[in-house]
């Protein structure tokens, strides 16, 4: 990620409220309020999280690559997400979906 880039997530919706479009509405609102037209957004999601992938694709994001979260000093919180394989060079304002 570049200095001005922003990662959206993790998004989570309580069970009784799922399927109502709340996560998508929150993502669309984040994008609507952003005044930095050059910013690239990233959304990192586990490959098996079909619901989250559906939400972010509906918001206009595209899959860019696959990777993994690293640990530093055996602590996940100090690690980073590294893209290991790019599947697309498609990078626009609402584009980043990595697994």
- Cα-based distances in Å from 49 to 4, 7, 56, 99: 27, 17, 11, 9
Q: Tens-digit pLDDT profile for the chain (99 aa)?
A: 788 888 887 788 999 999 999 999 999 999 899 888 788 888 888 888 899 999 999 988 888 888 888 888 988 788 887 887 777 665 543 444 444
- Which pLDDT score is estimated for 25? 94
63 is a domain residue: yes
Domains identified in the chain, total number:
1
- Which pLDDT score is estimated for 79? 82
Edge-to-edge strand ranges of the sheet holding 41-44:
6-7, 41-44, 96-98, 62-69, 81-86
- Which pLDDT score is estimated for 89? 60
70 is a domain residue: yes
Structural domain of 47: 6-98
- Which pLDDT score is estimated for 90? 57
67 is a domain residue: yes
45 is a domain residue: yes
1 is a domain residue: no
41 is a domain residue: yes
Query: What CATH number corresponds to the domain at position 31?
Result: 3.40.630
Q: What phi and psi values does residue 21 have, to the nearest 5 degrees?
A: 80, 15
């Amino acid at each position: 990620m570049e200095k001005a880039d922003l990662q959206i997530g993790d998004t989570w919706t309580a069970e009784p409220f799922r399927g109502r479009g709340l996560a998508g509405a929150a993502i669309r609102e984040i994008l609507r309020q952003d005044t930095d037209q050059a910013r690239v957004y990233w959304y990192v999601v586990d490959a098996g999280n079909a619901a989250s992938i559906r939400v972010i694709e509906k918001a206009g994001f595209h899959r860019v690559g696959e990777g993994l979260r690293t640990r530093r000093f055996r602590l996940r919180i100090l690690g980073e997400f590294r893209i290991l394989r790019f599947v697309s060079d498609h990078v626009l304002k609402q584009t980043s979906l990595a697994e």
